[in-house]
Amino acid sequence: MTKTELLDIVRDGENSGVEFKRDTIDNRALAKELVSFANLRGGVVLLGVEDDGTISGLSRYELTDPHDPTSARNYRQLEEWVMQACRDKIRPETIPYFQVFHDLEPGKDVAIVQVNRGWGVHHVWHDQHYTPYIRVGSICREMSLEERERLYQQRGAFRLELRPVSGSGLDDLDRRRLRDYFGRIRQQLPDPDDDDNWKRLLLNTELLIDEGGTTPVVVAGLLLFGKNPNRFLPHAGIDAAAYPRTEKDYNAKERAALRGPMTPLFGEHGLVENGLVEQAVDFVRRNTAVESRLEGGARRVERWTYPAEVVREAVVNALVHRDYLLSSTDIELSLYADRLEVISPGRLPNGITPERMKAGCRAARNQILKDTMRDYGYLEHMGMGVPRKIVKGMRDHNGTEPDLIEDGERFIVRLWNEKSP
């Protein structure tokens, strides 16, 4: 950072990445600001700058020559104080970048203390108590429980899918689906009536969890194999609607609350019962047009508005990768006259962006959901479903380019039914 760049930062004022402080603050106050930055995207504390941007300078210094007030100022003591504050007051500890700019204004120096985005969740350690803080605009405040859980999840320290669901147990799982999955796919089927062996298997595969005397089902287990997942997880479904025009309309052609486990049920003669994915594909098919045409002069081929494999991939991605911490909303499946939209609650996980998705970059928020749905053949083993199935599928089908949009706390996959003029 140059002196000109620092002056520009001071002139622009405090924001989500910049805080002004006097260097007379105590170590806890400094730690709070640095923790709040580390828990967001990183930031810088400027010591020696007032809240209004006035440069007041630094006071924690020693003169090179104590007998000469005009001698150079030494800030070794200030630097040691900053590093010690980060060591004593921040958990996990962090090492900031420290630099002093001399004479930012005549006779007034400013120190920058900069931290990067943390890999974990940082806390202030004070009076034998851990407190996490987050930066909200130009304010540092204590994190709520929901914000804390979401941050742990984003940084890989917490997986919501492994959280036990209070009041649930083995009887809340669909034994038919479990037998199909573990027998047909994993080929490790216990005796159908041996509950002890079933519990042992489900504990080892992380679908149940041992809570010291009870074995509740985890979130992933109910989502995948629950008899009635919405009894415990009301937001575990898809709200589907088909509108006659290009905007939402009270007079929808059809509305449906798609509910049930994600996985389908297969029997000796094929599909017995749809899971959420096929329910969604069926909804799209019965609310879109199909045209028939001859190929090769003799064979009649049906061509749907949206290819089933593209719709299926968009829905599976939403179910597998959505943020289940956001409990106030379902996945949305909306059909319009010109497009189809699948809206998944939550930001993209672990630094993924729409462009990185198109390139085939892989990251899982819910690993058990991902692995199990891949076992059923719903997901590409190389994580290439978006570029190979969604993007290429729509290009080959009608020459359109799907839109992948991160919009605040939701992610949208938008498919067009015809090429724009």
**Coil, strand or helix at 13:** coil
Token representation of residue 191: 């005796």
Q: What residues pair up with 91 in beta bridges, in sequence order?
A: 123
Q: How far apart are CA 220 and CA 322, in angstroms?
A: 12
Look up the pTM and report it: 0.67
Torsion angle (degrees, nearest 10) of CA 118, 121, 125, 131: 130
Class for the domain spanning 238-416: alpha beta
Q: How far apart are CA 55 and CA 10, in angstroms?
A: 9
List C-alpha distances in Å: 181 to 330, 372, 375, 392: 26, 9, 9, 30
Domain 3-155 identical in fold to domain 238-416 = no
| pLDDT at residue 130, rounded to an integer | 92
CB under 8 Å to 375, separation ≥6 — which residues?
A: 181, 185, 186
Nearest CA to 83 among 103, 111, 48? 111
List C-alpha distances in Å: 39 to 90, 131, 158, 322, 325: 12, 12, 15, 22, 18
Contact present, 409 and 346 (Cβ < 8 Å): yes
Token representation of residue 353: 């962006």
Please state the domain extents for the chain: 3-155, 162-231, 238-416
* Tens digit of pLDDT at every position of the chain (421 positions): 888 999 999 999 999 999 999 999 999 999 999 999 999 989 999 999 999 999 999 988 887 777 777 677 888 999 999 999 999 999 988 889 999 999 999 989 999 999 988 878 899 999 989 999 999 999 999 998 878 877 876 666 567 888 889 889 999 999 999 999 999 999 988 888 889 999 999 999 999 999 888 899 999 999 999 999 999 999 999 999 999 999 998 889 999 999 999 999 998 888 999 999 999 999 999 999 887 766 666 677 778 899 999 999 999 999 998 888 777 789 999 999 999 999 999 888 766 788 888 887 766 778 899 999 999 999 876 667 888 899 999 999 999 999 999 988 899 999 999 865 4
CATH number of 3-155: 3.30.950.30
Nearest CA to 342 among 254, 239, 264, 251? 239
Q: Does the CA dihedral 309-383-188-179 come out positive or negative?
A: negative
Contact present, 264 and 275 (Cβ < 8 Å): yes
| pLDDT at residue 421, rounded to an integer | 46
Q: How far apart are CA 208 and CA 170, in angstroms?
A: 8
Half-sphere exposure of 371 (CA within 13 A, CB side): 10
CB under 8 Å to 347, separation ≥6 — which residues?
A: 154, 323, 406, 409, 411
